Amino acid sequence: MSSKFLRSFAACAGAGIAALGISETGLIRKMVFAQEQPNEGRHKVLIIGGGTAGTTVANQISRKGQITEDKITIVEPSQHHYYQPMWTMVGAGMYQKEDSRRLTKDYLPSRSQWIQDSVQSLQPDENAVTLRSGRKLHYETLIVAPGLQLDWHKIPGLVDALEDASCPVASIYHYRHAEKAQRVLSGLTHGQAIFTVPVGGIKCGGAPQKIMWTWESSWAAAGTRPKIDIAFASPLLTMFHVRKYGAALDEMATARGVETLFGTELVAVDGPARRATFRDVKTGARAERAFDALHVTPPMSAPDFIKQSPLAAANGFVSVDRGTLQHARYPNVFAIGDAADLPTSKTAAAICGQAPVLVHNLHQHLAGRPLTAVYDGYTSCPILVGGGKLMLAEFKYNQEIAETFGAFGDQSRPGRMPYVMKRFVFPRIYWDSFLRGTWYGPRTWIPPSFPDAP
């Protein structure tokens, strides 16, 4: 019995399906899955992760047309897809958290196979992936795009403090906690507010200070700012790692009276006592600080199944060529997004540059030709600074500045237009175009072209 027959059957049974409270798409996926599971064979393209990177790549592969959708398989456990950059704005009171969430199935290629499961382990020498359910998948090519793992537990006391509704500890780095950030920070009228950054790579490196600047501005507008002391704790020695933008943000911190606790990391939280412990990253010395509001960016890392696999570099991320995105040892494996070991900021904007490169090189590999597309490290950090303004930091590898609107002015100076784009335009582009595989960052809707090697 063919998948085509099953789809036709399910389509004809629409009324009965609805009466049972089952979606037609869901039934089709279940029926096709049930049919293929016993003898599914090798997956042409297996994608780990249905977040921004995985979904975008799946749709760009589909649009290219050389690989049919039914040859694309996505492993993603979550029923919902989240526009995570919106969580900063949820914490700032600009959106409700529900605005950031939609159904995963609505954004995957319609005829692709979605396996709603998590990855347990990787066996690249066997071209295989083992799922939590025990099911083992074999692939012809593998794209690793699971995003980052948030290691909340690495800070003792943090999880309990976040779950305690009465404790003024919050984080915009999770759907469930973003609205608490808004409640905690909007309710602060005096005292000490601390915002933290962990050691190591994080998604959206500017987010820890976006939420800070936004509320600093709001407190100033409300007249409570003189009664609130603000501290920003970071293991870096500057507000931002790219020199041009870091210098501008350092000046802003001084001008707006933000205490900078550079060279430190948060290592413990005592929610009931309202005290946070910080460690000097050079000396290891520890010091406690009292707080009335604490916003925490948790430590992050590659998922454990990557760290424990042959795909991992020494830092735990997927070892890939920084230009071609192909694995250093396994040529039929590619990686994209936050889990890839690339020396650039982990942002959604970076995926705009990475996705077309990966898709082109994937097809080159399958055709037995040299990989000719090269990712230049482009990424972007739109940093909300309050007052309806935003600093749009754009750069490539080696901190090379790559400003889209540089001809109109220095982007290290916050502007109104980038703010409007971030708050009102980008969310719509994300849902309607980015995830559909038709948005290419600074190139807008014009895809890049790469040479086809003979």
Residues labelled as active-site residues: 204, 381
Q: Which amino acid is at 311?
A: L
Q: What share of the chain is helix, strand, coil (3-state, %, to 5)?
A: 40, 25, 40
Structure tokens at 180: 């608490």
Residue 113 to residues 142, 232, 332, 435, Cα–Cα distance (Å): 14, 45, 20, 17
CA 285/CA 280 separation, integer angstroms: 5
Q: Which amino acid is at 221?
A: A
Radius of gyration of the chain (CA): 23
Number of Cβ within 10 Å of residue 201's Cβ equals 21
Please give the angle made by the CA atoms of 182, 184 and 185, to the nearest 5 degrees: 65
Is residue 348 a contact partner of residue 178, using CB atoms and an 8 Å limit?
Answer: no
CA 316/CA 269 separation, integer angstroms: 26
CA 390/CA 385 separation, integer angstroms: 5
Is residue 421 classed exposed, middle or buried when 0-12, 13-18 and 19+ CB atoms within 10 A define those classes?
middle
CA 268/CA 416 separation, integer angstroms: 38
The number of CA neighbours under 13 Å toward the Cβ of 312 is 16
Dump the DSSP string for 356-367.
HHHHHHHHHHHT
